């Protein structure tokens, strides 16, 4: 079928909104009519060439929609299901999946921006077009593996569902599944975009005591107070490490999170952690960047430095938990999505992200 999609032909170029060819779903795949797609920084990293991806490609990995057709042998979703899309459709058979870490699925990692069989369903101008995260939801329709859809028990607004597909699960999961924040502890979050605000919501859910939001923009910091931040630190004018230490009686925070994506902010997250502090790196730094840490401090203060990918969550079991938390009023997703766009406005949506507009943007499809 012919569908409208935003194609990235080259790094550094605006996305090209045009018709592309989308094949029928093959065995174990489903066709989804996209309802909403989130404007996430991870896609921007590919557009800027800060992260490698096969091109041409349809980006978009934070989405939700409705299943309109199922391929042969599909058992995990049915036509008409409203679904959240997962950008790590787990194979269920590799070592990582079998060990319960389906967010790190080996087969998904090995097949990258292709479907699990290594081929693409998208084509344009005689070329194969790749699928970011096997989602490619900057398009009216998407063919995805059946393990990449998480059916919703009750319908929720599509833009909220889309957020659960990436930023919410990544951020809340980092707080409650990766770091396992303990009640009453102190938390510092560097970078308060869609993902960082979700870390803050996760810290609040875990009943953290002090939750310190760190950003370089005052507007983001004020906004963070709506999601559970108790203190703010503006990293633009003064050293954020010093400020976080001052707010925590000189100790540093028990849990720190890097949610921007750079070597410098990773180092700051490490340096502002307390003795026995847990440092969780969520943001994806430009490819090749390194962060230097004091090797003696690591030992003498028994700090833990770890990464967190997709919130260490298992999409098919943990995303429904996020939906329940939203429905019971414990996750404020209604305030998170503040800007809505059409697919034709996608380049403007990314310009708004670059300008640092607060909150999350989402593309809506009719
Ligand atoms: N110190 C603190 N905050 C910073 C700094 C800095 N030096 N530089 C930028 N920021 C803030 C920005 O002002 C912004 O509020 O980090 C925030 C990043 O938010 P978004 O651009 O909305 O990014 P988001 O979509 O939340 O993703 C964050 O997580 O999944 C990854 O790839 C993603 O690396 C990205 C990160
Ligand atoms: Zn994302």
For the residues of 13-53, what is the DSSP string, one character each? SPPEEEEEEEPPP-TTEEEEEEEEEE--HHHHHHHHTSS--
Ligand 1 centroid distance, CA of 303 (Å): 24
Sign of the C-alpha dihedral, residues 93, 147, 153, 99? positive
Ligand 1 centroid distance, CA of 280 (Å): 14
The whole-model pTM stands at: 0.96
Classify 360 as helix, strand or coil.
strand
Confidence band, pLDDT 50/70/90 cuts, at residue 84: very high
* % of the chain surpassing 70 pLDDT: 100
Sign of the C-alpha dihedral, residues 226, 163, 236, 353? negative
Question: Has 42 been annotated as catalytic?
Answer: yes
Atom 29 (ligand 1) nearest CA: 283
Confidence band, pLDDT 50/70/90 cuts, at residue 237: confident
Position 177 scores a pLDDT of 98
Question: Has 61 been annotated as catalytic?
Answer: yes
Tokens of 49: 């060439």
Q: Is the pLDDT of residue 356 over 90?
A: no
Q: Which of 69-78, 178-187, 354-363 has the lowest mean pLDDT?
A: 354-363
**Mean pLDDT, the chain, whole residue set:** 96
Question: Has 40 been annotated as catalytic?
Answer: yes
Q: Report how far Cα 357 is from the mean position of its chain's Cα atoms.
A: 18
């Amino acid at each position: 079928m012919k569908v409208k999609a935003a194609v990235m032909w080259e790094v550094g170029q605006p996305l090209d909104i045009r018709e592309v060819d989308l094949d029928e779903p093959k065995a174990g795949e489903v066709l989804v009519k996209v309802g909403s797609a989130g404007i996430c920084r991870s896609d921007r990293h590919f557009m800027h060439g800060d992260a490698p991806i096969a091109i041409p490609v349809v980006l978009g990995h934070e989405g939700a929609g409705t299943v309109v057709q199922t391929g042969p042998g599909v058992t995990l979703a049915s036509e008409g299901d409203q679904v959240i899309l997962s950008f790590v459709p787990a194979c269920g058979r590799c070592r990582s999946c079998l060990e319960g870490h389906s967010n790190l699925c080996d087969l998904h990692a090995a097949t990258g921006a292709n479907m699990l069989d290594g081929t693409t369903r998208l084509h344009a101008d005689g070329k194969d077009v790749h699928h970011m995260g096997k989602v490619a939801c900057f398009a009216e329709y998407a063919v995805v593996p059946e393990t990449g859809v998480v059916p919703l028990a009750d319908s929720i607004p599509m833009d909220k569902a889309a957020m659960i597909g990436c930023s919410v699960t990544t951020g809340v999961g980092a707080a409650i599944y990766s770091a396992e924040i303990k009640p009453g502890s102190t938390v510092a979050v560097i970078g308060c975009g869609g993902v960082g605000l979700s870390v803050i919501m996760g810290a609040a859910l875990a009943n953290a005591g002090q939750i310190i939001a760190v950003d370089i923009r005052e507007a983001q910091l004020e906004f963070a107070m709506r999601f559970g931040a108790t203190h703010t630190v503006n990293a633009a004018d003064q050293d954020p490490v010093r400020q976080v230490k001052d707010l925590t009686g000189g100790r540093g925070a028990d849990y720190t999170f890097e949610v921007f994506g750079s070597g410098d902010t990773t180092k700051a997250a490490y340096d502002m952690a307390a003795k026995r502090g847990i440092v969780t790196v969520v943001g994806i730094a430009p490819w090749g960047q390194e962060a230097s840490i004091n090797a003696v401090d690591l030992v003498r203060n028994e700090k833990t430095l770890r990464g967190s990918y997709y919130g260490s969550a298992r999409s098919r079991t943990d995303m429904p938990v996020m939906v329940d938390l939203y429905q019971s009023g414990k996750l404020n997703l209604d305030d998170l999505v503040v800007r809505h766009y059409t697919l034709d406005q996608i380049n403007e949506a990314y310009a708004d992200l670059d300008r640092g507009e607060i909150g999350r943007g989402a593309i809506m499809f009719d």
